[in-house]
Amino acid sequence: MISYQFDNVGFEVREPHDFTWLKQFGRVFCAFDNLISGNLCFGVSNGDQKYFIKYAGAATRMYNGQPENAVRHLMEAAPKYEHLKHQSIVPLIAQTALPMGYALIFPWFDGYALAPIDIHLDRLQAFHLVDRLSMYDSLADAIVNANQRDFLAAGLAHQQILVNFDKSQAVICSVNHFRRFPTITPYPKLPGSTWFVPPEGYRTGTPLDERSNVYALGALAFTFFGNPREQSDHLWSAGKALYQIAQKAVCPDVDQRIQSPALYQKMWREAVFNMPRLSGV
């Protein structure tokens, strides 16, 4: 491994690489070099502005592919942020070609990822129900919006859901793996963590439709209101009506699920509105 250091922040790559371009963006205050995507990520501050930079082009520690493939994937991801603009998806503010790679620049979001550190999931579970309902509704609306724009919300993972507990805000920080409909399950599986990948996402060549987005909505509901390690009624905290909606959304049989994200959202919001403890809030 080859070590680099900028502004007292260290990171490693497998081959020599030019990172002097980082200086043009400001002071590096953190780096993430253990991603399997082939990207390096940096937190950079410039005056009172802070940015999150995704960079491809270096031979990273955990990526077995060629750096040029990582560059191609990152470039292909850029237009998705434009198509999927939403208050709960971190916005892309710039993209730039660099001497040995490519970078996407985002505003920095002050929050914690729900994984891999369980303490943040546990903190979310202890949060006031009204705040969790509000954060979930906004994230769910981002997935419904993606579906309306003919995108499958692939690649979701708890690592990509950031929560600012002080402001009761949550965002999806990556849509790199979202896929245009029509689409099929790629080999060997649909991108994303096992929590969010529906059963049909493990069957290579299976046509995927909006009911796979319904599954993602249900899985996300269990993250916010149930046991984030088991999709069951154990520890469910949002009432029987919402549990039944979430449970139907994650039904293994795609034909037995709620049939569209829009219908799911309608059912969910009606059930929230009718929750006795929230009446008049």
pLDDT at 229: 74
Is the pLDDT assigned to residue 15 strictly greater than 80? yes
For the domain 2-107, what is the CATH code? 3.30.200.20
What is the phi-psi region of residue 15: left when phi exceeds 0, alpha when psi lies from -120 to 50, beta otherwise?
A: beta
Mean pLDDT in residue range 221-241: 89
pLDDT digit string (tens) for 60-95? 999 989 999 999 999 999 999 999 999 999 999 999
Is the pLDDT assigned to residue 281 strictly greater than 50? no
Is the pLDDT assigned to residue 125 strictly greater than 70? yes
Closest CA to 6 of 47, 57, 40, 56: 40
pLDDT at 279: 47
How many whole angstroms separate alpha carbon 269 and alpha carbon 267?
6
Mean pLDDT in residue range 232-244: 92
pLDDT at 280: 43
pLDDT at 278: 62
Query: What are the structural domain ranges in the chain?
Result: 2-107, 112-278
The mean of the pLDDT values for the chain is 95
Note whether 106 and 113 are within 8 A (CB): no
**Please, what CATH class does the domain formed by 112-278 belong to?**
mainly alpha
- What is the signed CA dihedral for 128, 134, 139, 141, rounded to 10 degrees? 160
Mean pLDDT in residue range 181-202: 97
Tell me the β-bridge partners of 9: 6
CB hemisphere CA count around 280 (13 angstroms): 2
